[in-house]
Structure 1
Amino acid sequence: MAALGGVTLGFAAGSFTAVMGPSGSGKSTLLQCAAGLTRPTGGTVTLDGIELSAMPEKALTRLRRDRIGFVFQSFNLLPSLTAEQNVMLPLKLAGRRTDRARIAAVLADVGLADRARHRPGELSGGQQQRVAIARALVTRPAVLFADEPTGALDTAASREMLALLRGLADDGQTIVMVTHDPVAAAHADLVVFLADGRVAGELRDPSAEAVAARMTGMAAC
């Protein structure tokens, strides 16, 4: 059985989409294919008019590095580096000039202008996730993919993180977020539901209650 089959989705620039579904529904596979981490065995994946599935591996690596941002449940920060240095890392790996003004700007955007010299161990979980988002944004990606970004956070930090993502989308950042949480999904413009590797429905301008009801209905099927 294919992990995904017959899935056709488009994510408009500046939109915020949440992807939900039961375990094994294909959420992670969808994210990995859309982000160019996994090549689909059929179909195409296109970003800004560029077909990712046909790109040579080196070119795909460069595109992921320059045009795609990733935020995961685990913050994946280097503990020996400061927040500023962690955010700087994608630019260094790409061999690009260190733009300290840009680094300062993205740290300010996520509310950490006064934490630039702090190491991860000196930051709360919510602050560490904000550093991870700043790191993902520093290259000005076309799309930000978030895989359960609030999964390791407490309720208060989750609320702040979701408000931050909503604000980024309102400012024009395209975001695709996989989540199991109806409250998180309610911050998106659109919720896409997957079941057995296929699109099982969509919900525009969602409320947490409507998302929860749809998920309960899917579980009962």
Structure 2
Amino acid sequence: MKFATAIIAAFGFSAVANANLIQRGYDDDNDDDSSPTPIYNPYTAGGGITTFPNRFALGAKIDGDIYVVFELSDGQIEYGPKKYTVPCVTPTPTPTPCEEPTPNPITYTHPNPHKPWKRDGFDFDGDDSWLTFDSSYGYDWYTLKNSVLRDSKYRIGEIAANHQFQFDSPVQPDALYSSGFSIVHDDGYWLLALNGKTTFWDSPVNDNGIYKIYNAPINPKARKIELVVLVLL
């Protein structure tokens, strides 16, 4: 009897402790995607890639469109109206040319087609669904090693206390996450994930189409987005 009472007491304490782990942020009907668990195991979280050999950029995917993510000098990341686009290719034979692409298209090609390799149990060469970009475009790029993101200045990717996704060195002492990132394949795209979850959120900075990125909805204007991995060639 005493043993049963001890179990019930322990369970009650655990429930209270877990309740205290609820993240701060705008309450969007308790959407589970906005509250990833603080506990992360890179070997079991959705089978994602936690170490990636290439540098890569990120694109914010909304309603089928992908907008290029850029980094400010202080490490904050945003995205604006610049789209990642695939060049127009006129089918042959056909008398009617296809529509012209948007300005500054980025080529969609298979990365390293003559240099197959395997890393962490997945076959990069056997999958042509990776979106890529040429280094000459000068996009901000990142690396992923052991679930830790770094930018070109070797700052660490983190989710700050206000849920904002940014890069800092050193990591802010009250940051919610500074590891737990992976790359996962979902619905035809390779996406950045946090604790196995691919849902991120945006919030407008101004009326010119600039948005910051968060891991939770911070206000009623927040929208769900996904972050597509664009491999640097």
Q: Give the TM-score of the pair, scaled to structure 2.
A: 0.24
Q: In terms of Rg, which structure is larger?
A: 2
Which one has more relative contact order, counting CA pairs under 8 Å at least 6 apart? 1
